Structure 1
């Protein structure tokens, strides 16, 4: 009998080894699922994300005739004026405070040489006092999106529902920063030709710190107390998502009840590995179309509810028809 038990243990161990070897993603997914909470505080609040950069960033209007361009990263500043001010011929690791100091001490006929990183290449230009306007230089990148969830156990949060990318410099941001609530929304409606947007004024202090940015959005930890509308929903499994009616949640006014707009899930993608293209949907709520024209920029991250459970978040709008969008499964947002 003892010999039989030893044989059974060996067989079970062999089976487990083969499962891990043949289906590592599946086993890994099971482990992750076991660590997920059963309930979440749902979001829908419009956020301003201030994402840090390790270099000073240029932010100028595209129509201005300047040598420096939007999203340039400042690598170095040099010139005789620096010798007079700082007793140096050049500086790197430049802050906005340095720009203010240099400009304040420049004469009207002084020039500096500035080296920027643009599309992966370094370029150097001469700037006069007028061109070295401190308002053109920022240390954080502002980005508008929506909160998806807060984990009630550890106060971790997820937002946005997709990666944050910049066309000219892919390495413009770090995986750190702060999130702020916004109020007084300004809305440019979507139409058949273009996707609209919404944004608001930043209010209160930081409500959370960012510690991760990837293809599934932004993660971090809630530190403030101003997110007061804490509706709790059960966590919906991706395997249970189905075609049919669901709701898109939006916090239209801070402190008020979240608005649930009706959508229709038209396609469900069965997935064994993480992807942001979880399911497709169409907004069928007439009031939503009246208010927004269609999905607008800034709604990314808004939670999606089906059968009383949070199943995912708005990830992308389909540009040729802004009434239609793509959702990412909540499990992938939380696991990755």
Structure 2
């Protein structure tokens, strides 16, 4: 019994072992299948991640390559007020040379081919000078001795020696026309945090045609009493009176650049425009041909006048990037269109400040040019 039982038991053990071994083989294969499936699943997931990652990187690169306006969210307060402008030259500007007659009736030109149009005289005999009055005094008392001028010529510092001519008893001249300051009317385009931009173009000397190097200047209140209307062939102008005293100062000019003059305004000036709302700065890519408005105080109060942007010259150097036409009958009746003194008047389109008036067509005062505010502001 014991042996049979044992045998039976042994058979049982063998069978159990065989079954277990058989099940173990099945389990092993199932395990392998699971591992293969897991591997395939992980490979698919990894592939998806790689593809998604590549797509993200591509999208990221494409995003980085897209042009983005540097003016996103930037806001300026458009102004349009006409002000008096006074600038001092950085030295005394030579406009031209001329002949002088000496005591004996001889005509000569002492400075010819020595001092030239566009030179800035900064010192005489090593003494700094900045006004015409100083220059005249120094030449008058030179007693006929050679004069050593320190000159800024196209950015280079040079020295020029000129021999004066006695034109009267103890009176000496060297035969030059000079300028040491410039005055006029212009329009403030915008204000931002107490800083202003105006004109939309540089202040250039009318005789030399060159950008004036300025040492500083002031903005003054201007009493506008009328407008000389523009007609074909004759541009009009704003007529006003400027009192150059400290009580009338509304700003300080710090820079004269290619696309405008820049500086700071007084608290009183800021108070005078405190009701004005700031506008978003438009990128030049947002500017379109069609309807727009000029903001100006030429009538005595702030008014928006309708204009048309008839042509856009993108990527054009200078301050003639938009060709504009005044269509508002109110402004045409008042001024004839665009007049001198309106340079800098802000242009608004789609509730954004897009540019400033810079030029008027002589043969048609209703037409003119403007600069993108984007270019003027970035400068």
TM norm structure 1:
0.69
Asked if 1:98 is matched to 2:134, the reply is: yes
SS at match of 1:98: helix
Counterpart of 1:50 in structure 2 is 86
Deviations 1:66-122 (A, max 9, x none): 778986633554xxxxxxxxxxxx34421336347548x759x97985859698696
Counterpart of 2:237 in structure 1 is 197
SS at match of 1:232: coil
Counterpart of 1:41 in structure 2 is 77
Note the residue ranges of structure 1 that are not aligned, 5 or more in a row: 78-89
For 2:365 and 2:161, the matched residues in 1 are separated by 39
What is the deviation of 1:329?
2.2
**Aligned with residue 168 of structure 1, among 205, 208, 214:** 208
Counterpart of 2:256 in structure 1 is 213
Counterpart of 1:156 in structure 2 is 195
Larger CA Rg, structure 1 vs 2: 2
After superposition, the Cα gap between the structure-2 partners of 1:324 and 1:15, relative to the gap in structure 1 and judged at 3 Å, is same
Counterpart of 1:126 in structure 2 is 164
For 1:206 and 1:5, the matched residues in 2 are separated by 66
2:343 touches 2:359 (CA, 8 Å); kept in 1? yes
**Aligned with residue 121 of structure 2, among 66, 71, 74:** 74
Deviations 1:134-158 (A, max 9, x none): xx8654333432111112xx22211
Deviations 1:5-62 (A, max 9, x none): 8997898678767876x67xx35xx3x313622xx322111123333332123689x9
TM norm structure 2:
0.62
294-303 vs 223-232, which moves further: 223-232
After superposition, the Cα gap between the structure-2 partners of 1:98 and 1:146, relative to the gap in structure 1 and judged at 3 Å, is same
After superposition, the Cα gap between the structure-2 partners of 1:35 and 1:189, relative to the gap in structure 1 and judged at 3 Å, is same
1:141 touches 1:173 (CA, 8 Å); kept in 2? no
2:229 touches 2:336 (CA, 8 Å); kept in 1? yes
Counterpart of 1:86 in structure 2 is none
For 2:72 and 2:217, the matched residues in 1 are separated by 29
Counterpart of 2:336 in structure 1 is 293
SS at match of 1:305: strand
**Aligned with residue 264 of structure 1, among 297, 308, 331:** 308
Report which of the two has the higher share of helix: 2
For 1:205 and 1:242, the matched residues in 2 are separated by 39
For 2:346 and 2:302, the matched residues in 1 are separated by 11
For 1:291 and 1:5, the matched residues in 2 are separated by 69
After superposition, the Cα gap between the structure-2 partners of 1:19 and 1:41, relative to the gap in structure 1 and judged at 3 Å, is closer
1:249 touches 1:303 (CA, 8 Å); kept in 2? yes
SS at match of 2:251: strand
Note the residue ranges of structure 2 that are not aligned, 5 or more in a row: 1-44, 101-108
1:156 touches 1:220 (CA, 8 Å); kept in 2? yes
Q: Over aligned residues, Cα RMSD in angstroms? A: 4.3
For 1:266 and 1:98, the matched residues in 2 are separated by 50
What is the deviation of 1:313?
1.1
